[in-house]
């Protein structure tokens, strides 16, 4: 449901121009140690099956030469940070995935963040060990750390997560319709509602709002930090 290519700098710039408060990118590492924006290591899905190479097996010079459908290119992390640095009030969420995770990836991401000191960065992941590794590597780095809740059962621990992390991201997957149903059922649980009454909702990001109805659902429950994959929702 994206209005533009995923993990693409042009899409990010367009979203910011239309009123988005921030942007998000998934980061993987090339064979020669460069952090690039991509959701999948294997390029088959985003190339409609035309390219089956893996980012982790390619050097940066080869990755940036790839032309995806529509002439879309794969961007370096520094491209996103440069855009975020130019809009200091905007947030850039950098998601680190478990796939091919390594200390080299941490070091590569930290290097780029340090090169863009005014960018408002939040490192996010589903994996708590990854987030801990980032903190251990550089505890004095001025970036925020956020946990993405991937299991419904984790909703019961929101209070503890907000003690451990700067923010929490929760909601459903817009491409898997059943996750919305499960989230709404769990959200109506008395224990979850009781927790939320005592929590700082400004530190809880929700999504994915793919339409105005989704947006209103979150707003009605007091959430104002809402992710969307559709520009019409944020306009």
pLDDT in tens, 134-186: 888 888 878 899 999 989 999 999 999 999 999 999 999 887 889 999 999 99
Whole-angstrom distance, CA of residue 218 vs CA of residue 206: 7
Q: What are phi and psi of 167, to 5 degrees?
A: -155, 165
Between β-strands 35-37 and 91-96, what pairing exists: parallel, antiparallel or unpaired? unpaired
pLDDT at 103 over 80: yes
Model pLDDT, residue 190: 87
**Nearest CA to 161 among 185, 183, 145, 174?**
145
pLDDT at 232 over 90: no
Residue-wise pLDDT tens digits, 21-53: 999 999 999 999 999 999 999 888 877 777 888
Q: What are phi and psi of 96, to 5 degrees?
A: -105, 120
State pTM to two decimals: 0.92
SS3 content of the chain, % helix, strand, coil (to 5): 40, 20, 40
Model pLDDT, residue 235: 58
pLDDT at 195 over 70: yes
More confident residue, 189 or 67: 189
**Nearest CA to 137 among 119, 121, 114?**
114
Q: What are phi and psi of 207, to 5 degrees?
A: 165, -175
**Per-residue confidence at 70, pLDDT binned at 50, 70, 90?**
confident
DSSP 158-185: HHHHHHHSSEEEEE--TTSHHHHHHHHH
**Which CATH number is associated with domain 1-12+24-148?**
3.20.20.190
Show me where the domains of the chain are located. Answer: 1-12+24-148, 166-235
* Residues of the chain above pLDDT 70, percent: 97
């Amino acid at each position: 449901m994206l209005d533009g290519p995923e993990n693409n700098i042009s899409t990010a710039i367009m979203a910011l121009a239309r009123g988005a408060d921030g942007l998000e990118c998934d980061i993987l590492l090339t064979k020669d140690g460069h952090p690039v924006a991509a959701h999948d290591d294997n390029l088959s899905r985003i190339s409609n099956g035309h390219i089956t190479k893996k980012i982790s097996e390619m050097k940066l010079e080869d990755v940036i030469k790839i032309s995806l459908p529509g002439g879309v290119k794969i961007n370096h992390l520094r491209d996103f940070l440069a855009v975020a640095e130019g809009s200091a009030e905007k947030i850039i969420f950098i998601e680190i995935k478990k796939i091919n995770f390594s200390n080299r990836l941490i070091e590569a991401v930290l290097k780029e963040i340090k090169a863009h000191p005014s960018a408002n960065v939040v490192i996010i992941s589903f994996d708590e060990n990854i987030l801990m590794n980032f903190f251990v590597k550089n505890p004095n780095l001025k970036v925020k750390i956020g946990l993405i809740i991937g299991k419904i059962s984790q909703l019961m621990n929101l209070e503890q997560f907000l003690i451990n992390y700067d923010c929490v991201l929760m909601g459903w997957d817009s491409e898997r319709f059943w996750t919305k149903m499960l989230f709404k059922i769990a959200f109506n649980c008395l224990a979850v509602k009781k927790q939320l009454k005592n929590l700082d909702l400004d530190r809880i990001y929700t999504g994915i709002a793919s339409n105005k109805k989704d947006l209103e659902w979150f707003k009605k429950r007091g959430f104002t930090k809402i992710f969307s994959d559709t520009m019409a929702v944020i306009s």
